[in-house]
């Protein structure tokens, strides 16, 4: 499921001109990164989730097992320009993910990374999906 989430979120962000006008698509990547080659950049990471089987999941035949999947993702925005720059990028991401995609923002915080000499905005998002196994 994580691979699907990573590719789906990246596809949503890279297809949004609101986001790509501020961050090049090549700087939007899944997973953690120790060193960033280029700023501004965005990383996408799955940070939690849960699966809940619907009634009868354990005894249903294959193809009829319905479960609810809740996934939490973290989007990190790094920029060396200014706090305002990270705010603009964060607003573009919010506009993109809340545009009927099923995402719900759970939290947001701004920090300054001394080692990177970069502003960092951390957004946490939840998405709920139904799966049929």
Burial class (CB in 10 A: 0-12, 13-18, 19+), 26: exposed
Residue 1: predicted pLDDT: 55
CA-to-CA distance for 16 and 92, rounded, in angstroms?
8
Other CB atoms within 10 Å distance of the CB of residue 16: 19
Cα separation, 57 vs 65, whole angstroms: 5
Task: Tell me the CATH number of domain 2-117+126-132, given options 1.10.10, 2.40.360, 3.30.2000, 3.30.1460.
Answer: 3.30.2000
pLDDT, position 33: 67
- Whole-number Å distance between alpha carbons of 14 and 70: 23
pLDDT score recorded for residue 63: 67
Give the pLDDT of the chain (133 residues) as one tens digit per residue.
577 888 999 999 999 999 999 999 999 999 876 667 789 999 999 999 888 787 777 777 776 777 777 899 999 999 999 999 999 999 999 999 998 888 999 999 999 999 989 999 999 999 987 777 7
Give the pLDDT score at 103. Answer: 93
Biggest alpha carbon distance in the chain? 56
- Torsions phi, psi of 88, nearest 5? -60, -45
């Amino acid at each position: 499921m994580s691979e699907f989430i990573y590719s789906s979120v990246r596809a949503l962000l890279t297809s949004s001109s609101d986001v790509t006008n501020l961050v090049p698509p090549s700087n939007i990547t899944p997973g953690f990164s120790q060193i960033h080659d280029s700023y501004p950049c965005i990383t996408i990471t799955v940070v939690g989730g849960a699966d809940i089987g619907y009634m009868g999941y354990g005894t249903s035949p294959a193809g009829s097992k319905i479960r609810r999947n809740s996934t939490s993702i973290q989007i990190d925005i790094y920029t060396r320009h200014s706090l305002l720059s990270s705010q603009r990028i964060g607003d573009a991401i919010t506009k993109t993910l809340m545009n009927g995609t099923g995402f719900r923002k759970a939290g947001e915080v701004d920090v300054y990374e001394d080692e990177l000499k970069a502003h960092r905005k951390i957004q946490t998002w939840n998405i709920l999906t139904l799966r049929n196994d």
